[in-house]
Amino acid sequence: MALGWLELQHRAQQEFGKRVRGVTDWSAPTPDTDWDTADLVRHVIVEQQWVPPLLGGLTLAEAAAHVRPLGDDLASEWAQYSGRAVLAWSVASPSAPVHLSYGTVTVDEYLHEQVADLAIHSWDLARAAGMDESLDARLVAAVWEELDERREMLSASGLFASPVPVADDAPLQTRLLALTGRDDRSTPPPRPTGGR
């Protein structure tokens, strides 16, 4: 049974949150080569900070005043700001305008974008932290359908690395990740000792 996008947003939040709570090495490398694990988690938390003011109709300049510096306890910061984002999504009108850096979209379009971002970064975090990399199957299916339809736009956006070639009959999660320049068939890097 297909899930609505609000339920998919909850699933994506859960996927990312359970991995945040399991991180033991915040300096471990991630598939996003410019980021370590702490950088990746900070990026996603900041994205959550933007959600309530943007869903409230603020411009980017106005919403920026609501984005706060993060403390060192990233698990607590995630819990706080992801909770606020969930509440904001639950009361937003799907057709209301949202002002983003590339233009104005509807709440529903922004929701789809954010669900996809959380899902992909959940895998990134799982790979970085050496955790179970499998994602909710219905979440994967919905995000695949969303991104596959926008394949050409994704390539032109520069937001992701070039797609990785995979077989048409590869598992759907493998194909989804490959579309965003990730290869889950590759060997994860050796686990570093220690951590911060």
Predicted confidence band of residue 151 (pLDDT cuts 50, 70, 90)? confident
- φ, ψ (nearest 5 deg) of residue 105: -125, 175
Q: Which residues contact 181 (CB under 8 A, 6 or more apart)?
A: 160, 161, 162, 163, 164
* 187 within a domain of the structure (yes/no): no
Model pLDDT, residue 3: 72
Residue 96 predicted with pLDDT over 60 = yes
Mean pLDDT for the chain? 92
Q: Is residue 13 part of a domain?
A: yes
Q: Determine what percent of the chain is predicted with pLDDT higher than 70.
A: 92
Range in 87-96, 117-126, 185-194 the model is least confident about: 185-194
Q: Is residue 185 part of a domain?
A: no
**For position 2, what pLDDT does the model report?**
57
Domain that holds residue 49: 5-180
Residue 192 forms part of a structural domain: no
Instruction: Flag whether 48 is in a domain.
Output: yes
User: Which tokens hold the place of 50?
Assistant: 């933007």
Let me know: does 142 contact 129? Beta carbons within 8 Å. no
Name the one residue in this structure whose structure tokens are 């933007």.
50
pLDDT band at 190, cuts 50/70/90? low
Cβ-based neighbours of 48, under 8 Å, separated by 6 or more: 78, 81, 82, 84, 85
CATH at residue 162: 1.20.120.450
In total, how many domains does the chain have?
1
Residue type, 135: L
Report pTM. 0.91
Are 11 and 122 in contact by the 8 Å Cβ rule? The answer is no
Q: What are the pLDDT digits (tens) for 29-56?
A: 999 888 999 999 999 999 999 999 999 9
Q: In this structure, is residue 191 part of a structural domain?
A: no
Question: Is residue 194 situated within a structural domain?
Answer: no
Strands (E), the chain: 97-100, 103-106
Give a yes or no: residue 89 inside a domain: yes
